[in-house]
Amino acid sequence: MASSSDYFIDIVSDPSTPMLGDIPHFPYNELKTATKYWNKDNKVGEGGFGTVYKCEWKNTTIAVKKLKVRRSNKPEETLNQCQRDQLLRELKYLNSCRHKNILPLDGICFEHPKYCLIYRYMEHGSLEKKLSRKEPSLCWEHRLHIAKGAASGIQFLHAKEPPAIHGDIKSANILLNEHMDPVIGDFGLTREGPIEKTHIIVSRPLECVHLHMMKIRHQNNISKIL
């Protein structure tokens, strides 16, 4: 039987992934305890890739993204290829892109079949949620500050060699800390861009959308039968 370290090596052995030895590893049991066994009251967000929880860990407020693992045709739960690709991109770019307007990756937890990414907690949540609230609304000073900060983060990504194309810039992926400073997160669709060209067309990975639609269709069929 393979150990958890074997699965860790399998995930990060992709040649396009940088060495991750400098990223702290958080024990899964400590994260489970900190989130009060993944209590829904600590949940601050959820997406197709995982669920994000807020918790206190060693006197520090952190955000833990608990990745969703699925049982496919294997007898055990594991990441499918689409999830694995997104995880590799997230690790690659968050570990190599250190900038004040890029979400810091504070740690990882790979204890098969449990995978978590640990980030700095952003007190004001996403820009999307901030804009959707009627009170208190964002003043123009904050709006300009956020726009300039987000643009600085994007410019940093595009100035890399080769350029990094985020591929999913939107208000939901711009997070705000306690000082209303914006940071760009969610690098699951990021890819390298061409050096010579000034424009690039980026499309979403259709296989992920296809898998999600197949799941919805399957659930609907079951509902009709019942």
**Which residues are known to be catalytic?**
168
Place of tokens 């080769």: 162
In contact, 117 and 67? CB cutoff 8 Å: yes
CA angle 169, 121, 170 (to 5 degrees): 10
Helix (H/G/I), strand (E/B), else coil: 126: strand
Beta strands in the chain (DSSP E): 43-46, 50-57, 60-67, 105-111, 114-120, 164-165, 174-176, 182-184, 191-192
